[in-house]
Amino acid sequence: MSKMTKILLVVMAVSLVPLGMLGAMLYFGSRAGIAAGGTIDLGNIPGGYEGTSAAGQNVSNGTSNGMTDSSENDMENTADRNDSDFYVSDIPNSIWKNMQGKSYSEECAVARKDLRYVHVLYVDFGGRTCEGELIVNKLIAENVLDIFKQLYEAEYPIEKIALIDEYDGDDELSMSDNNTSAFNFRTMAGTDIVSMHGTGLAVDINPFYNPQVKETGSGIEVSPEDAISYADRGVDFLYKIDHDDLCYRLFTEHGFEWGGDWETNKDYQHFEYSR
């Protein structure tokens, strides 16, 4: 190897050292964002991370052990919704139209302006919260609203609360379906006397389990007819209204008379305003 060749090789080797150092700096510098020990900053991973969370926090639903502001707001909103589900109003036009020829007829002596629509919540036999509707006289509207609100808060079971117009005003069909109802312009069975339901001053609760039991010369008549199994009030069974029942206590405290206290014509479903 000539002397000139040796000099050229030395020059080339010396010049490659800075390039190698520069390459090393660029390589390791690109990994400066990774923390020591191989731990990754999970917050920098796109899409988040659903693995182990910090102590005291549930990552799966995004809530902590303490109540968050959003959960407090949800509770307030739920309370507001519950309050708004209990209200009294004038009868809406659509409901008034549907009442014609069913619960309301031309013979009715009570004007529309003297009746009120009552919207409530109730707990059905399956433990579900449901919406209920009643038409009552304006004289008892606020009392009825308060009674049903207390029944709901106590989770008192009522199978259904629907306007009797859903049964074309047929009281027997409504009772057989255990429907709780109020206003229905009709006369008392076998008479020309307008029922207290015809003035909107009476409410029937769980009527199938609390039938009307009337003494006659040939025995007793039960209404609804298919509820004869519940005519014997000396037997214990679910949904029975008696003097120990919350429904009895609330209605009588609000000035209602219970049909179960009548002497010969027991009407265990029936509460009518007597003040």
What pLDDT digit, counting tens, does each position of 53-97 carry?
333 333 333 333 333 343 344 333 333 335 689 999 999 999 999
Confidence at residue 275, expressed as pLDDT on a 0 to 100 scale: 75
250, 147 contact by CB (below 8 A): yes
Confidence at residue 5, expressed as pLDDT on a 0 to 100 scale: 52
Residue 262 has pLDDT above 70, yes or no: yes
- Look up residue 216 and give its two tokens: 């006659």
86, 122 contact by CB (below 8 A): no
Residue 17 has pLDDT above 50, yes or no: no
**Among the ranges given (29-43, 142-156, 195-209), the one the predictor scored with the smallest mean pLDDT:** 29-43
Q: Is the N-terminal amide bond of 224 cis, ω within 30° of 0?
A: yes
- Position 35 confidence tier, pLDDT thresholds 50, 70, 90: very low
Confidence at residue 15, expressed as pLDDT on a 0 to 100 scale: 52
In the three-class reduction of DSSP (H, G, I as helix; E, B as strand; rest coil), residue 241 is classed as: coil
56, 64 contact by CB (below 8 A): yes
| 213-249 pLDDT per residue, tens | 998 888 889 999 999 999 999 999 999 999 999 999 9
Which helix H or strand E contains 74, and what residues bound it? Answer: helix 69-84
- Position 190 confidence tier, pLDDT thresholds 50, 70, 90: low
Q: Which residues contact 258 (CB under 8 A, 6 or more apart)?
A: 241, 248, 251, 252, 270, 271
In degrees rounded to 5, what are phi and psi of residue 176? -65, -30
Confidence at residue 1, expressed as pLDDT on a 0 to 100 scale: 58
Confidence at residue 264, expressed as pLDDT on a 0 to 100 scale: 82
- Position 186 confidence tier, pLDDT thresholds 50, 70, 90: confident
Residue 104 has pLDDT above 80, yes or no: yes
DSSP state of 45: S
Q: 135 vs 45, which has greater pLDDT? A: 135
**Overall average pLDDT of the 102-115 stretch:** 95
Cα separation, 49 vs 44, whole angstroms:
10
**Overall average pLDDT of the 33-55 stretch:** 33
Q: 75 vs 119, which has greater pLDDT? A: 119
Quote the pTM value: 0.69
Q: Which of 71, 86, 201, 207 lies closest to 136 in space, CA to CA?
A: 201
Q: What sign has the CA pseudo-torsion 184, 189, 190, 195?
A: negative
Confidence at residue 216, expressed as pLDDT on a 0 to 100 scale: 84
Residue 31 has pLDDT above 80, yes or no: no
Confidence at residue 217, expressed as pLDDT on a 0 to 100 scale: 82
In the three-class reduction of DSSP (H, G, I as helix; E, B as strand; rest coil), residue 173 is classed as: helix
| 137-173 pLDDT per residue, tens | 999 999 999 999 999 999 999 999 999 999 999 999 9
